[in-house]
Amino acid sequence: MLPALLLLGTGISLFLFGMINLSNKVKFIFTARIREYIKYAVQRPSYGLLTGVLSTILFQSSSAVTVLTIGMVSAGLITFYHSLSIILGADIGTTLTVQLVVWKVTDISPLFIIIGGTLWMTGRKNLADYGEIFFFFGLLFFGLNLASQATGPLRKNPEIINLFKEAKNPLLSFLIGIVFTGLIHASAITVSIVAILARQGLISIDAAVPAVIGANIGTTVTALMAGMTSSGINGKRSAFAHFLFKAMGSIGAMIALPLFTSFLEAIVTDPAQQVALAHFFFNLAMVVFFFPLLKPVSSLIEKMLPGREETLPLWPVYLEESCLSDAVRALNCVLKELGRVMTLLIRIYAEFVAMLTHYHEGKRRNITYVVWVVRHIGKEIVFYLRKISTYQLSPELSSHLFAYTGLIDDLVRMSDQMVIVADLLKDKFQKKVDFSPAAKRELTEIVELVGKNLNQAASLFEKGGSIDDNLISYLEREIDLKVKEARERHLVRYCEKVCHAEAGPIFVEILIHLERISDHCENIAEYFRDIEKQP
């Protein structure tokens, strides 16, 4: 049995490795497009349901889609109510993986690995990216193929046969499904292995279906963990809703277990297909039951987990197409939208300032998601400005047009600097390094000065660009001086081994990016000065 168990463990490991890397690669390539489609997903619950299904098919992981959704809810990009339909859709999408196993896609998995490896080794960026996707997709199913080969010899082992066939307690199978899935964070692999065992005749449908139901409960562990690290109440609500859907569905399925298994046996005879359909019908039943009740369910959970959070519009608020007929009105719309972006940056800055004293992964994710919005709005503003530029503009309006184009570039670059600082704080936390008391005091002082400069820059948008003094320039010079002094003093501390060795580079990098954020504030002031110079 030892070789079979080792082969089974290898297969499971390859599946998990392939799934995690496939999900990460797809997110890296397609996440920007998915974010753009999210604004359509929130228009109607049915669109959100479809988004959840398609995203899970793309990621090959409902957990990845659910965690991404919880992160976006926590950051205020979508409402708690709209997240529910996406989560339900993700549960439907995950059933495809098991169906592919039943259809024996595992048998041609080496072909995907060969194609992916060939594309990967071409050296061309686009082909290499898609080659990785093919490779990890093939590896995922190759792992299940190994698991299938490992279970084949077990059919001849009388002890194994008795273990599975005499396990008549459905509650035990249910608990095994929960625990195993909770440990590996992937319901697809649990249900796929159950389907493989059913095909080998090692497990009966009476024991397989409770394990499938339990796997659906176990998969909520990943979402619950993401919800616990979420900084907002809405992220916690979405994670709890996912658990509630699965828990109530499991209770109903276990109560109706004899009817459920009889129904499966009546429609198909292949044991593996019965398992795949059990997984599909369980999640379909949840959608049919809960989808019409999303409003009352969301209201109930909001009462159970009270709190109020703001939701950020994913698309521009002030860029109205009707204003394009008048260049003055259109440019005024752009200025208002730029001011809204500046407000988002101040919100991001407050998030990472809070992380200086107490790191929180949820806050770092919030920064990442809000920066997505900033970049998206930046693209929309540039596109809107291009439309304005097609009209005959006076020198004064032309100066506004060029200044606003430069402003959005600085705002987006500023958001990028904030993401880098947040990632540095994550690195600091993971490496468990700490700054010396002197470094903390210096950093706190510089952070406060940069915060003041950001607020001064924001006031320029509120005043329509009217500059009363040169406070931004003064603060910029002060920050440059403080950063220079802090770096010099830190060099002394580093040489004297007063501070942690790994803390040094992180501290200096944070200072550099804070200084650059302040530089962008000075650039913003310069653009407004250029506008004022026009007669």
Q: Is 182 helix (H, G, I), strand (E, B) or coil?
A: helix
**Under 8 Å between Cβ of 427 and 505:** no
Contacts of 203 (CB under 8 A, 6+ apart): 164, 165, 194, 197, 211
Q: What is the pLDDT of residue 406?
A: 92
Instruction: Please answer whether residues 42 and 48 qualify as being in contact, where contact means their C-beta atoms are separated by less than 8 angstroms.
Output: yes
**Structure letter (DSSP) for residue 232:** S
Cα torsion angle, 182, 183, 185, 191, sign = negative
How far apart CA 319 and CA 376 sit, in angstroms, is: 13
Angle at 507 between CA 503 and CA 512, to 5 degrees: 150
Q: At what angle do helices 95-102 and 80-93 cross, to 10 degrees?
A: 10
Instruction: Determine if residue 315 is left, alpha or beta; phi over 0 gives left, psi from -120 to 50 gives alpha, anything else beta.
Output: beta
* Residue whose pair of structure tokens reads 């708690």 in the numeric block: 80
CATH 1.20.58.220 positions along the chain are 321-533
Residue 352's pLDDT is what? 82
Number of alpha carbons in the 13 Å side-chain half-sphere of residue 83 = 31
State residue 123's pLDDT score. 64
Please provide the distance, in angstroms rounded to a whole number, between the alpha carbons at the two ends of the chain.
88
C-alpha of 43 from chain center:
20
CATH of the structural domain 321-533, one choice from 1.10.3330.10, 1.20.58.220, 3.40.50.300, 2.60.40.420: 1.20.58.220
CA–CA separation, 255 and 248 (whole Å):
11
Q: Which of 246, 249, 247, 225 lies closest to 236 in space, CA to CA?
A: 225
Helices and strands, number each (H, E), in the chain: 22, 0
Q: Which residue has the tokens 């329509």?
A: 464
Length of the chain: 535
Distance CA(26)–CA(68), nearest Å, equals 13
Q: What pLDDT, on the 0 to 100 scale, is given for residue 414? A: 93
CA of residue 485 relative to chain centroid, distance: 39
Report in angstroms the alpha-carbon separations of 191 from 174, 262, 274. Answer: 12, 19, 11
**How crowded is the C-beta side of 377, counted as CA atoms within 13 Å?**
33
Query: Cα angle at 122 between 117 and 127, to 5 degrees?
Result: 80
Show the low-confidence residues of the chain (pLDDT under 50). Answer: none
Question: What is the predicted pLDDT for the residue at 504?
Answer: 79
State residue 506's pLDDT score. 87
Alpha-carbon Rg for the chain, nearest whole angstrom, is 28
For residue 211, give Cα distances in angstroms to 141, 156, 172, 203, 365. 21, 23, 8, 11, 34
Q: Which two tokens stand for residue 364?
A: 């770092």
In this structure, how many other beta carbons lie within 10 angstroms of the beta carbon of residue 527? 21
SS3 76: coil
